[in-house]
Structure 1
């Protein structure tokens, strides 16, 4: 069973008092009891102990000056009489206390009970506030500000161990403030869950009577207005019906008039304001003080259309002022400008609205003999009552309107980004100064990283401090915050509900939240609302709303508003947290799929950068692949879209691209194979409902022996070339379609790159920006690259600092390669016809060249490999034949011929006469392979130089 306050009702041993008694004894002995007692009771015990209260204390403060005929007493008397009759013959003790905990009324189900109880339980005037009486029904209801139940040993005092009670705050329906507490006290054995419904209905009856008192005051004001208006109409003026105006007004115009009227009532002074209607007409609202026959003071708001200026309306003849029940005002009474009035929503039950037939006469002037005439130069004016009420009631309506406006503004301002920290800042900026003077927000480090905190109560860091000024001594942003068990912040995190502390000086345990700053804070702030940030069952942190400049303490309406703001912000923060987590995962995947280091090669000096998009992670990638013959392959690609699917597709595409490149396919053929791969992936993803991916790519192969660069692109931006003299160009490469479309061939272009040139490859995120023109960006890129003295690393950084957008909407991959040329003295070439007799001559020439290079240790292996490769070319290929030795990081032997047939490594049987040549090459070399050229093929083998 769950009690109305939200906590489970005691059952079993706890129901007969044994459980609470055991936990209470452990608590009084200083042992931990967090898991064995209700949160509200434990909080009250901790506050009672912090106050130094003793469980054996039997005396309470007594007030002789309490008002026996106050509002709450007059509203509660008939209700208590009915309750006394309902519980006749029982041991029920019914009491009503005021907002300070002072008991004002008592009723007993059994008359003899009043004589048997001690004075503090039967005589009005004793104060049962928590700071004097410890944990009890009245004190805890005021502290928790909701329906509570205290049972047996849950009471802090020894005198109440055998009793139970239910208590519920009674609120003023207009202001929402707690006017008092209704409490049912009874023996433990008389526990009845049905009492919850009874006490709620009784409290509602008292609140209706409180509202009736306000309605009676308004009705008295309306009667006074009608009486004085009738006299004025009979003796002074000719009336023009304003009800015709009301019938003509649109609903929105009528609502605006009522809102402006409520704002004027809250001003509590004579004033006037012009209100423009949607059809262009103008209505003047005039406020006039009013006093009823019983002495109730209020404000009447009249509408005038059309008529004199507001100052003329305020200076009408004295007879009208007297008829309205107020003396004439001086000529300098305020006129409220239209921009200065705050619209206020009409609150049902707050004001009495006169019927359309209620009229007052138009404004007129009096002749010297007392006759009256309307202004000769002004059109006739119609005047009628709009609202009548008391100023404080108008203030309630004004506050309600402002709360609605703040919530509406919060919906637009909070959650504009998917950044956790920024969303928290938006909450603080929205609340200051409309709700609070200062706001602090504490979030766990895990939440800022996009994770869920294991224990948000002990892992909080100050994330936001925002207020009307900067000198309030809150813990600085970034500092770890630790809250004690009695602090409002920890209590709200434990209960999951907002905790209101109207007076921080009386809030026990609040100073323990931060000893370094709390003493100074207490001298500057006076009221606090602590609200947990909870979304989808996840505790994200806590927000503190502080009031300093406004002398009024926070109330329950403020707490509800703070709770609503925090709830909305928590959802936005949780969305940002989840996005941060997903983005972190995708970014980690993306970075794990990109190269972790650059391979060793001497063809180019390379620098690279990857910059993820600010809002999401895409599929941009780059690759550097050493190829045979000292060449190097450079890739830059971009998978369309964002998110984990794009990142995963990028990984698959990069793997395929590397595989095709290592097979020594030329750039256009590599793109053709990648086009088939992307098309297949698109078909697979479409079958799975994931949609089409698509990608762009640029592939370049640079050969340092010839300083030629062969490039092909598939829907990708062209590269930038920087000559050694600083000239920057964007070569017009053949434009191939994006990968995945299929059906169209790709074309390659060959460009000569002198040694020291820079080749700059990039993705479209660098140059495509909806806020800038592409041509302007390319001019900026050209200017940045026109510095050939920069290293590739310096060039990368300069490009990102100058050309990249400040807030990139797409990923950026950047690859800068500075070319080198292989020294011609490290290249040896021999051309020979397909004659087996020349094999020995080639071997001898190669041995001499190795001796010149100082590589005699490699001579044996090179001699064997050349013999096999040249012999295979003569037997199975076609002439002429070229032999080339390249002395780079390794020694590379190349044999080319005009045939397109490639040799294959196989395991030769013991009876085979051939098939062992390539096996020897594979054993003697670090690697070998075949690449095709326009004139045939090249078979190559690499030999390590460790021995040399």
Structure 2
């Protein structure tokens, strides 16, 4: 029987099949030499070895039994192995090279064996062509199927990775809190692809300092998500130094991620680790470490890419939170520096106050309060609210508070003061609209309540510009919201403000506040005002406790808006502390005024101020007689200091000037300014009042009369 090409190939394969182990070992050696990446992972290396043996066995079986190449069955696990290579991140080209390299080695062995079975060159050539064609067809078919399975798995993995990254973008960075953001990263990674995650941030980055590779790298542990039977361990945010040469140090310095296999130092159960730096906007913020000890699979390049993408999302969220925290802290510092450090010394009212910034999502606002001592033992109470939030609102608040204090210093009535303040807001709004950087651009608006209390007359005069009205609690426990003309918000212009006046019993409680105290998403303003009245009437041993009770009752949680609260309990100056004289518009009234002042100071036990007070009163009364108009009135107020006031019917404001040696006049107000701690002029509807505040530390300055 003549030997055919297929028969020769079958005999050669049958002979070689007895030494199949040698052939498989030769193929493995070739793959290890040409494609070492397939042998880095023990699991992948074992799978590749099994696949080589199965494919060689299938190919030899088909050649031995002369089966058509299209009918040779590939190994049952072939497609699953291709998918596993895709999941492990092995490139498609590597898989195809492995097919061709194994084909070449097997064909070389088969062709080398053929001359041993026949001397017929034509038969050998025909058998060689048969073997090559069959092997090529088999390899082409199995590689095509493998490529399809590989690409299908790669597409599925890509979709999975994209969905993971998208989900991470939703779940990481839900707040602007740095610790919570890093913990969200750790929790998410543990759920998806890690058994243990730690996140360490550079302490310098947390404090807005530049990252430097010089010196030790100080890290703060901000998140940890271990998988253990006892549950997650608490994070105490302890500081630690990153060891030189460690994977974390390398990632921080180079900015490149890395994967490591084998037992980790101090954690022998961990067999695979990813170390990924957290970088955002060109700044290194910290490092995240993802480890496996329960999952037997080692991390591959696909896992590293996924960890990088998720860490990049988390780094942006951390950087946003870091920038927001820094900006918020700056705005809070600015705002608190612009608010009163303490209540000024005055006798008209006892005050207590609170300021609460809004929640983290809203940012610092422009609420403010102020207590301003005025002439005549009076006091001004101010509460205001700048529209908007952030550092610009805080800065605007500071400018408006300064403007209010300046206007209050010239003793403007509440309605006139708000009119001037409205003009200032209009000018500021024009400046911000022209801001070239655009950060502060936009309409500027504010509300304000300005009130003046006089402890002598117990008169309470106030006006508001779009602000919520104050609350009043009388000594008998009756609480009400004062009915005031509303007035437009500041910044509209062209609309007048109207003041209201009330006479208050001594011991009345006044509550001035911003709308954040009584208005929220849970209830309207009317409900908030009702709760405020109930909270104010509750008895308390001190005004501070009343303040605390109001805050606890109306704001059980973090407020949605800034809140400023100013409480004031009124006092009155009795008849024994105030002395008043009506004076005739004649020179002789000056000596009578000095005598009256001397007697009154003796009655009050202030003889040591007698000489100074007589000099000041003489000058003020003389000026009123010479330059003013009747009626002329002298008033002394015995408060923390001695207040001297002379009123007349003229609206002309006296001005201080320095008299020369040969000038006959001009030294009166200079003398008053030298003797008094403070002095000034306030205007009324009719006339004016020139006042001076004296204390026992006042001395007669001879330099006022000797300078040329």
TM category, shorter: 0.7 to 0.9
Question: Which of 405, 420, 428 in structure 2 is aligned with 1:673?
Answer: 420
Question: Which of 312, 316, 337 in structure 2 is aligned with 1:571?
Answer: 316
- In structure 1, what is the Cα distance between the partners aligned to 2:38 and 2:288? 32
* Per-residue deviation, residues 141-172 of structure 1 (Å, max 9, x unmatched): xxxxxxxxxxxxxxxxxxxxxxxxxxxxxx98
- In structure 2, what is the Cα distance between the partners aligned to 1:549 and 1:396? 25
Q: Which residue of 1 aligns with 2:399?
A: 652
In the TM superposition, 1:439-478 aligns within 5 A as: 439-454=197-212, 458-469=217-228, 471=230, 476-478=235-237
- In structure 2, what is the Cα distance between the partners aligned to 1:496 and 1:67? 43
1:586 aligns with 2:341: no
- In structure 1, what is the Cα distance between the partners aligned to 2:565 and 2:209? 31
1:68 aligns with 2:16: no
Q: Give the 3 Å change call, closer, same or farther, for CA 766–923 of structure 1 in structure 2.
A: same
Contact 1:646 1:693 in 2 (8 A): no
Contact 2:487 2:498 in 1 (8 A): yes
Which of 1 and 2 has higher RCO (CA within 8 Å, sep 6+)? 2
Q: Which residue of 2 aligns with 1:759?
A: 510
1:914 shift after superposition? 2.7
Q: Which moved more, 1:715-724 or 1:662-671?
A: 715-724
Structure 1: 5+ residue stretches without partners: 1-63, 81-93, 105-170, 180-202, 215-293, 299-347, 353-388, 512-517
1:490 aligns with 2:238: no
- In structure 2, what is the Cα distance between the partners aligned to 1:470 and 1:675? 65
SS at match of 1:915: coil
- In structure 2, what is the Cα distance between the partners aligned to 1:410 and 1:210? 36
- In structure 1, what is the Cα distance between the partners aligned to 2:514 and 2:423? 21
Structure 2: 5+ residue stretches without partners: 1-20, 46-81, 103-137, 700-708
Question: Which of 880, 887, 898 in structure 1 is aligned with 2:631?
Answer: 880
Contact 1:461 1:477 in 2 (8 A): no
SS at match of 1:941: strand
- In structure 2, what is the Cα distance between the partners aligned to 1:819 and 1:451? 49
1:397 shift after superposition? 6.8
Q: Which moved more, 1:399-408 or 1:649-658?
A: 399-408
1:211 shift after superposition? 7.7
Q: Which residue of 2 aligns with 1:907?
A: 658
* Per-residue deviation, residues 781-838 of structure 1 (Å, max 9, x unmatched): 2222122434232233223323136233332222222222123211111123334333
Q: Which residue of 2 aligns with 1:282?
A: none
Contact 1:830 1:884 in 2 (8 A): yes
Question: Which of 878, 887, 890 in structure 1 is aligned with 2:641?
Answer: 890
Q: Which residue of 2 aligns with 1:924?
A: 675
SS at match of 1:528: strand
1:422 aligns with 2:180: yes
Q: Give the 3 Å change call, closer, same or farther, for CA 644–470 of structure 1 in structure 2.
A: farther
1:921 shift after superposition? 1.8
1:700 aligns with 2:451: yes
In the TM superposition, 1:166-315 aligns within 5 A as: 174-177=85-88, 205-210=93-98
- In structure 1, what is the Cα distance between the partners aligned to 2:444 and 2:23? 78
1:935 aligns with 2:704: no
Q: Which moved more, 1:675-684 or 1:767-776?
A: 767-776
Q: Give the 3 Å change call, closer, same or farther, for CA 178–420 of structure 1 in structure 2.
A: closer
Q: Give the 3 Å change call, closer, same or farther, for CA 173–466 of structure 1 in structure 2.
A: closer
Q: Which residue of 1 aligns with 2:348?
A: 603
* Per-residue deviation, residues 488-544 of structure 1 (Å, max 9, x unmatched): 3223223322222233x2xxxx42xxxxxx3xx434x44322211011221111111
1:69 shift after superposition? 5.1
- In structure 1, what is the Cα distance between the partners aligned to 2:358 and 2:92? 57
Question: Which of 727, 734, 741 in structure 1 is aligned with 2:485?
Answer: 734
- In structure 1, what is the Cα distance between the partners aligned to 2:601 and 2:23? 114
Q: Give the 3 Å change call, closer, same or farther, for CA 685–940 of structure 1 in structure 2.
A: same
1:210 shift after superposition? 4.5
In the TM superposition, 1:121-200 aligns within 5 A as: 174-177=85-88
- In structure 1, what is the Cα distance between the partners aligned to 2:187 and 2:648? 76
Q: Give the 3 Å change call, closer, same or farther, for CA 687–408 of structure 1 in structure 2.
A: closer
TM-score by length of 2: 0.77
Question: Which of 159, 165, 180 in structure 2 is aligned with 1:407?
Answer: 165
- In structure 1, what is the Cα distance between the partners aligned to 2:557 and 2:166? 31
Q: Give the 3 Å change call, closer, same or farther, for CA 668–433 of structure 1 in structure 2.
A: same
Contact 1:172 1:178 in 2 (8 A): no
Contact 2:88 2:301 in 1 (8 A): yes
Q: Give the 3 Å change call, closer, same or farther, for CA 66–903 of structure 1 in structure 2.
A: farther
Q: Which residue of 2 aligns with 1:99?
A: 40
- In structure 1, what is the Cα distance between the partners aligned to 2:568 and 2:616? 33
- In structure 2, what is the Cα distance between the partners aligned to 1:66 and 1:562? 41
- In structure 2, what is the Cα distance between the partners aligned to 1:858 and 1:206? 103
- In structure 1, what is the Cα distance between the partners aligned to 2:448 and 2:93? 76
- In structure 2, what is the Cα distance between the partners aligned to 1:905 and 1:206? 96
1:670 shift after superposition? 0.8
- CA RMSD in angstroms comes to 3.4
In the TM superposition, 1:444-843 aligns within 5 A as: 444-454=202-212, 458-469=217-228, 471=230, 476-503=235-262, 505=263, 510-511=264-265, 518=266, 521-523=267-269, 525-614=270-359, 615=361, 616-689=363-436, 690-804=441-555, 806-843=557-594
- In structure 1, what is the Cα distance between the partners aligned to 2:23 and 2:373? 94
SS at match of 2:185: helix
Contact 1:890 1:944 in 2 (8 A): yes
- In structure 2, what is the Cα distance between the partners aligned to 1:566 and 1:349? 36
Q: Give the 3 Å change call, closer, same or farther, for CA 771–473 of structure 1 in structure 2.
A: closer
Q: Give the 3 Å change call, closer, same or farther, for CA 414–925 of structure 1 in structure 2.
A: same
Q: Give the 3 Å change call, closer, same or farther, for CA 495–840 of structure 1 in structure 2.
A: closer
Contact 1:421 1:448 in 2 (8 A): no
SS at match of 2:397: helix
SS at match of 1:629: helix
SS at match of 1:640: strand
1:594 shift after superposition? 1.9
- In structure 1, what is the Cα distance between the partners aligned to 2:100 and 2:376? 99
Q: Which moved more, 1:454-463 or 1:419-428?
A: 454-463
- In structure 1, what is the Cα distance between the partners aligned to 2:611 and 2:341? 37
SS at match of 2:86: coil
SS at match of 1:787: coil
Contact 1:843 1:867 in 2 (8 A): yes
- In structure 1, what is the Cα distance between the partners aligned to 2:100 and 2:464? 82
Aligned residues: 598
In the TM superposition, 1:296-445 aligns within 5 A as: 401-445=159-203
Q: Give the 3 Å change call, closer, same or farther, for CA 98–911 of structure 1 in structure 2.
A: closer
Contact 1:606 1:815 in 2 (8 A): yes
* Per-residue deviation, residues 607-629 of structure 1 (Å, max 9, x unmatched): 22222222312222222111101
Contact 2:540 2:546 in 1 (8 A): no
- In structure 2, what is the Cα distance between the partners aligned to 1:539 and 1:208? 40
1:415 shift after superposition? 2.0
1:912 shift after superposition? 3.5
* Per-residue deviation, residues 820-875 of structure 1 (Å, max 9, x unmatched): 21232111111233343333222212211111111111111111221222222223
- In structure 1, what is the Cα distance between the partners aligned to 2:355 and 2:607? 45
Contact 2:87 2:154 in 1 (8 A): no
Q: Give the 3 Å change call, closer, same or farther, for CA 411–555 of structure 1 in structure 2.
A: same
